[in-house]
Amino acid sequence: MREHGTTGYPRNAWYALAASDEIAGEPFGTRALDTPVVLFRVPGPDGGVVALRDRDAHRPYPLSLGHVDGDTIVSGYSGFAYDRTGACVRVPSQEQVPYGARVPSYPVREEGGLVWVWLGEPSLAARRPPVATPWLTDLSWETFGGQWETAAHVRLLHDNFADITHVAVVDPVISPPVLAGVAPALEVELTETTVHFHRDWPAAPMPEWQAKVSGASPSASYPQREEGAFLAPGLWADRWDVLLPDAEGGPQTLRFTHAVTPVDDRRTRHLWRVSRNFAPGAAATDVLRPIFESYYLKVREILETMQQVIDRDGYGEDVNVAADLAALQVRKILRRLVADEG
């Protein structure tokens, strides 16, 4: 089957534009869905985040190069001040504000320590809240992560998250040893907009790095379980369980959260988090962080190479295997969402 490429992505969805702790007293300029956006936090008990189009209504100058004044943002060129709705409320050169002077504003929610922004049809945002990710802020989970841009279409990132059998090839060090064998059948569950899948792996040793930080036996074999979920166009949540018996401390779980935001047709912002329910403390995090960061950087390089091949030679023939079942379902959902938006 010929798999045709697409340059689209759904706009009617929540996308993570920043981590919550990145938005403080200064304007934060960014870009998503080929749209310039400025984020800023207003003072007060709620400390809510505001998202506006990052372009002064007076002249083509970024608002992110201005400053925050109370609950308004002030252009560094014209001095126009805009409130949280995007309405211009003050012009320094005259008493009257020009009729209709405003910039677009966008719905914002904070969830899981991330700032989610809806750049599509505003009226739909309230009916489709961001997916909850309580483990990212739950103190019973240890979480670390990072973010960067990948010079590749967001679809290539979705394809990668949907199939972990590549891990054993890309980075044998981080890979659970069981991934080197033949994969059991993937069980996939679908809704109109989500894909959930899981797979039970036979008993095998855990990775050496996991045994080291958790104090478990590096040679003992344990059943293992993989779960993954495409929860929204901007969010993946996966987990890997090593099923230790209660006498040895109970199951050890790693949860992987991937917030992906198309910057444009060739760039994707990737905010990633790794959470665990074992080996608490900074010492274990210091061991794990470089291992996962190295792996995700290798994946980024691979996806950027894929994008270069596509740009040069176009989309060709994809030979799919059983492990691609979830990825193919995600592609169908994304194509339908883009088509529905017309």
Q: What is the mean pLDDT of each run of 10 residues along the chain (342 residues)?
A: 58 98 94 98 85 98 97 97 97 94 97 97 94 96 98 97 94 94 93 96 96 94 97 98 95 98 97 97 97 97 97 88 92 96 88
**CATH (residue range 14-125):** 2.102.10.10
Rounded Cα distance between 94 and 58, Å, is 14
Do residues 173 and 142 make contact, with C-beta atoms less than 8 angstroms apart?
Answer: no
pLDDT recorded at residue 83: 96
| Cα 68 to Cα 88: distance, rounded to the nearest angstrom | 14
Please report the pLDDT score of residue 7 as a whole number.
57
Report the distance separating Cα 83 and Cα 71, nearest Å. 6
Give residue-wise pLDDT tens across range 81-129. Answer: 999 999 999 999 999 999 999 999 999 999 999 999 999 999 999 999 9
Strand partners, 187: 198
Measured distance CA(1)–CA(317) in Å, rounded: 7
The answer to whether the 14-125 and 134-340 domains have the same CATH topology is no
pLDDT attached to residue 334: 96
SS3 track for the chain: CECCCCCCCCCCCEEEEEEHHHCCCCCEEEEECCEEEEEEECCCCCCCEEEEECCCCCCCCCHHHCEEECCEEECCCCCCEECCCCEEEECCCCCCCCCCCECCEECEEEECCEEEEECCCHHHHCCCCCCCCHHHCCCCCEEEEEEEEECCCHHHHHHHHCCHHHHHHHCCCCCCHHHHCCCCCCEEEECCCCEEEEEEEEEECCCHHHHHHHCCCCCCCEEEEEEEEEEECCEEEEEEEECCCHHHCCCEEEEEEEEEEEEECCEEEEEEEEEECCCCCHHHHHHHHHHHHHHHHHHHHHHHHHHHHHHHHCCCECCCCHHHHHHHHHHHHHHHHHHHCC
Spatial contact of 60 and 93, defined as CB atoms under 8 Å apart: no
Q: Does domain 134-340 have CATH number 3.40.640.10?
A: no
- What pLDDT is recorded for position 61? 98
Tell me the domain boundaries of the chain.
14-125, 134-340
Q: State pLDDT tens for residues 139-153.
A: 999 999 999 999 999
CA distance 107 to 125: 7
Task: Return the amino acid letter for 245.
Answer: P
Contacts 24+ apart (CB under 8 A), 47-50: 48/84, 48/108, 49/20, 49/23, 49/108, 49/110, 49/115, 50/84, 50/105, 50/108
Q: What is the pLDDT of residue 4?
A: 42
Phi–psi pair at 232, nearest 5 degrees: -170, 165
Please tell me the predicted confidence (pLDDT) of residue 150: 98
